[in-house]
Amino acid sequence: MPEKIKGMSRFTRITSAFAVALAFCATPAAAVEPAPSLTKDGGELVLRLPLARPVLWRIVPSSDAARLVVEVSDPSCCVLPKPNPDTLRAAGVSVSRAGWSEMTLDFARPVEVASAEMRTGDGAPLLEIRLYPDGTPKAAAAPGGEAAPDPKRLVIAIDPGHGGRDPGAQYGGITEAELTLEFAGVLRDALLLNPHIRVVLTRDADVFVPLEDRLTRARAAGADVFISLHADALSSGRASGITVYSLPSRAEEAAAERMAERHSGTDLLTGLDLTGAGDDVKVALLDLARRDTEPRNRALSAALVGGFRNAGLRVNSRPERQADLAVLRAAEIPSVLIELGFISSKRDRGRLTSDDWQAGAAAAIRDGLLLWQDEDRLRRSAVGQ
């Protein structure tokens, strides 16, 4: 099923390896393919690229406003339209990394992506990309139209752990489910002080939400980051401070297999319909998505711990850890679990229930997220992602 990306800014055209689309088609590779073309349709330029078979693809940010870079997971791809002085100055294809080709098109004037989709129809797959010339989306000026895209937009899914029939850890009259929900509200309010941030909560009341449904809600909101909030308790031993968890590499393959078996085709990767695809295809795509997301998870964890430290908040003696936690298995969304502290620790209990501490911790998370977003954009642009 085709998916469209509308109103994308140059820096947010794609932030996940598979947030665009994958089309499945029964057309044989030997089918006659249409010629590539670049035409005008009203105020838009329409680029049509024929493909021999369905592929993964993504539009890559470029620092040059007149350049469009498209990656496809096929080293034999692709045929590009011939340059002409009025619209397209140059076009070329190169191998960007193992198994992927990079198509680079230099236009006569700046362009901005209006929409992109894979068309299958009755013939060979066709990648159609519509562009606003001069980089000026019509919707920005049209009365009642959509607002211009925000290059700094960041959608955060906040997941207050436990809830309802699952109270989580309990100690000294404190319940983990209630504490995480309270802090989630404080964090939401702190994040929304930034006009570029949008927030979704996986639960906003004391209700039970299955772990997999939490990821579903994050995907439905188009989340760029997933943060699960918890507060542990130990029956013995002493531990305190904030800890940030991410998914370990060794758990990723097994996690992909479990997700492929248990999830529907529309609930595995954001913007990607895998209905009808076999488990082997699903696992392969989840694995590719994780290769892109894993280093981003690590960087997110480090940025959050740095934010806590910069704010003078107490972190655990090993603040960055890895664990195979179900709630961290969104292949395409950078995800972390934050243990805010240990309610079994007297010192932590005092902090966790303090309005001042909660406000400071929420501000530290916000600052860490904004730092991560800037560094992530630069890092991905530098490596051509």
Residue 12 predicted with pLDDT over 50: no
Q: For 20-47, how does the pLDDT look when each residue is reduced to its tens digit (9 = 90+)?
A: 333 333 333 344 446 888 998 878 899 9
Is 29 inside a domain boundary?
Answer: no
Region 61-77: what's the mean pLDDT?
78
State which of 105, 137, 169 marks the end of a domain: 137
pLDDT of residue 22: 38
**71 lies in the same domain as 207:** no
State which of 77, 105, 137 marks the end of a domain: 137
What is d(CA 142, CA 139) in angstroms, rounded to the nearest whole number? 5
Q: Kindly give the pairing relationship between strand 100-107 and strand 88-97.
A: antiparallel
What is d(CA 187, CA 158) in angstroms, rounded to the nearest whole number? 8
Number of domains in the chain: 2
The CATH number covering residue 274 comes to 3.40.630.40
Residue 346, judged by CB atoms within 10 A of its CB (0-12, 13-18, 19+), counts as exposed
Is 167 inside a domain boundary?
Answer: yes
- What is the reported pTM? 0.58
What's the order of all strands across the beta sheet hosting 335-342?
Answer: 197-201, 154-160, 225-232, 335-342, 242-246, 315-322
Residue 263 predicted with pLDDT over 50: no
Decide if 252 contacts 335 (C-beta within 8 A): no
pLDDT of residue 120: 63
Helix/strand/coil for 251: helix
Comparing CA positions, the residue from 47, 130, 119, 138 lying closest to residue 88 is 47
Region 325-352: what's the mean pLDDT?
89
Helix/strand/coil for 271: coil
What is d(CA 66, CA 379) in angstroms, rounded to the nearest whole number? 21
Region 344-356: what's the mean pLDDT?
94
The CATH number covering residue 101 comes to 2.60.40.3500
Average pLDDT, the chain: 77
Virtual torsion, Cα 173, 175, 179, 181, nearest 10 deg: -140
Using left for φ > 0, alpha for ψ between -120 and 50, and beta otherwise, residue 85 falls in: alpha
Ranges 50-54, 104-108, 324-328: which has the least confidence = 50-54
**214 lies in the same domain as 80:** no
**267 lies in the same domain as 167:** yes
Is 276 inside a domain boundary?
Answer: yes
Q: For 361-384, how does the pLDDT look when each residue is reduced to its tens digit (9 = 90+)?
A: 999 999 999 999 999 888 767 655
Q: For 97-106, how does the pLDDT look when each residue is reduced to its tens digit (9 = 90+)?
A: 556 778 899 9
Between 27 and 239, the higher pLDDT residue: 239
What is d(CA 383, CA 8) in angstroms, rounded to the nearest whole number? 20
Phi and psi at residue 105, in whole multiples of 5°? Answer: -125, 120
- Residue 241 is classified by DSSP as S
Is 131 inside a domain boundary?
Answer: yes
Token pair, residue 31, equals 């089918």
The rounded percent of the chain whose pLDDT value lies above 70 is: 70
Is 148 inside a domain boundary?
Answer: no
**358 lies in the same domain as 230:** yes
Q: For 159-196, how does the pLDDT look when each residue is reduced to its tens digit (9 = 90+)?
A: 999 999 999 999 989 999 999 999 999 999 999 989 88
Is 7 inside a domain boundary?
Answer: no
**129 lies in the same domain as 172:** no
- Residue 376 is classified by DSSP as H
**225 lies in the same domain as 108:** no
**208 lies in the same domain as 283:** yes
What is d(CA 383, CA 69) in angstroms, rounded to the nearest whole number? 12
- Residue 145 is classified by DSSP as -
Helices (H), the chain: 138-141, 176-191, 211-220, 252-262, 279-310, 346-352, 355-382
**285 lies in the same domain as 342:** yes
Q: Which helix (H) or strand (E) holds 54?
A: none
Region 263-285: what's the mean pLDDT?
44
**148 CA to centre of own chain:** 20
Is 144 inside a domain boundary?
Answer: no
Q: How many CB atoms lie within 10 A of CB 274?
A: 23
pLDDT of residue 85: 84
**293 lies in the same domain as 167:** yes
Decide if 58 contacts 20 (C-beta within 8 A): yes
Helix/strand/coil for 110: coil
Is 120 inside a domain boundary?
Answer: yes
**73 lies in the same domain as 161:** no
Q: Containing domain of residue 209, as a range?
A: 154-382
State which of 93, 109, 137 marks the end of a domain: 137
Q: What angle do CA 154, 281, 29 make, to 5 degrees?
A: 110
**213 lies in the same domain as 293:** yes
**242 lies in the same domain as 121:** no
